[in-house]
């Protein structure tokens, strides 16, 4: 089940917009300055693209989604309130857009973007968290992607924002509408679930590898 869309309003006490580096540009855009919007785009295009690509995991649709997100942002500037810094607001719009996309695409089977052949019997492993049995023999990009895809959209969103976009806990809270403590707990549980899925797939591989 996909997570509901994130709330677009609400005061988030952990973040103050006073020292928002984007605020001057945002105000210019609100007065109709297209050049300011382009500057905002160049400032945030890489981060938003990275977030969308790693959350949605359909590389072929990422450019379209990013265009649509920025178009939506441009058309919604009138409703933007500087109570919230611009970047969390932008990422919140992006998150909701990605969730909508996944909701519409839910009926279709998920595909894993991979540069390698998808062979379930191939030997692979990720570094074991306990460090007891194995060290990294082969860190398979596509299988790491599979682990990420198996998580719920909410868990995946938290991990992508934290580990790939390297946003602060406060910003993640502002984007997802969660309190700081809930973000920490959510991240911890997402990691635990990812580890459980890894161990499950590892057991599955061992079971397949055993002679009948």
Partner 1 sequence: MRCQDFQDRLERRWDDFQMRAHTEECPACQERLALVNWSRQVMLAAEQNVTPPAMAAVWAAVRRATNTSWEFSLTRSFRRLAPYLVAVTVLFIVVAAFQPGIVTSRPSRYASALAAGPDTKVASVLDPDLAPQKPGDVLGIGGR
Instruction: Output 189 or 211, the one with its CB closest to partner 1.
Output: 189
Burial of 127 (0-12, 13-18, 19+ CB in 10 A): exposed
Instruction: Output 71 or 83, the one with its CB closest to partner 1.
Output: 71
Q: Nearest approach, Cβ of 211 to partner 1 (angstroms)? A: 30
Using CB under 8 A, list all residues that contact partner 1: 38, 41-42, 45-46, 48-50, 52-54, 57, 59, 62-64, 66-68, 70-72, 74-75, 113, 126-131, 136, 139-141, 144-145, 147-148, 159-160, 162-164, 168-169, 184, 187-188, 190-192, 194-195, 198
Instruction: Output 45 or 83, the one with its CB closest to partner 1.
Output: 45
> CA-to-CA distance for 208 and 203, rounded, in angstroms?
9
Q: Nearest approach, Cβ of 210 to partner 1 (angstroms)? A: 26
Q: Nearest approach, Cβ of 93 to partner 1 (angstroms)? A: 12
Q: Nearest approach, Cβ of 22 to partner 1 (angstroms)? A: 17
CB 89 within 8 A of CB 143: no
Instruction: Output 30 or 113, the one with its CB closest to partner 1.
Output: 113
Residue written as tokens 């895809």?
149
Q: Nearest approach, Cβ of 25 to partner 1 (angstroms)? A: 15
CB 111 within 8 A of CB 58: yes
Instruction: Output 5 or 49, the one with its CB closest to partner 1.
Output: 49
């Amino acid at each position: 089940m996909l997570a509901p869309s994130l709330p677009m309003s609400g005061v988030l006490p952990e973040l103050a917009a006073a020292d928002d580096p984007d605020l001057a540009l945002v105000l210019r855009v609100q007065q109709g300055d297209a050049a300011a919007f382009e500057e905002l785009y160049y400032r945030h295009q890489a981060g938003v693209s990275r977030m969308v690509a790693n959350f949605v995991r359909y590389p072929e649709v990422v450019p379209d989604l990013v265009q649509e997100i920025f178009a939506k942002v441009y058309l919604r500037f009138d409703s933007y309130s500087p109570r919230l810094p611009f970047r969390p607001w932008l990422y919140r719009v992006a998150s909701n857009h990605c969730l909508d996309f996944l909701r519409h695409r839910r009926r279709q089977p998920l595909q894993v973007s991979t540069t390698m052949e998808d062979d379930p019997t191939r030997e692979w492993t990720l570094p074991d968290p306990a460090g007891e049995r194995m060290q990294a023999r082969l860190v398979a990009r596509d299988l790491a992607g599979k682990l990420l895809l198996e998580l719920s959209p909410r868990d995946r969103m938290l991990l992508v924002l934290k580990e790939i976009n390297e946003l602060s806990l406060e910003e993640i809270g502002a984007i997802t509408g969660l309190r700081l403590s809930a973000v920490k707990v959510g991240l911890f549980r997402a990691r635990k679930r990812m580890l459980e899925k890894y161990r499950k797939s590892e057991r599955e591989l061992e079971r397949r590898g055993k002679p009948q």
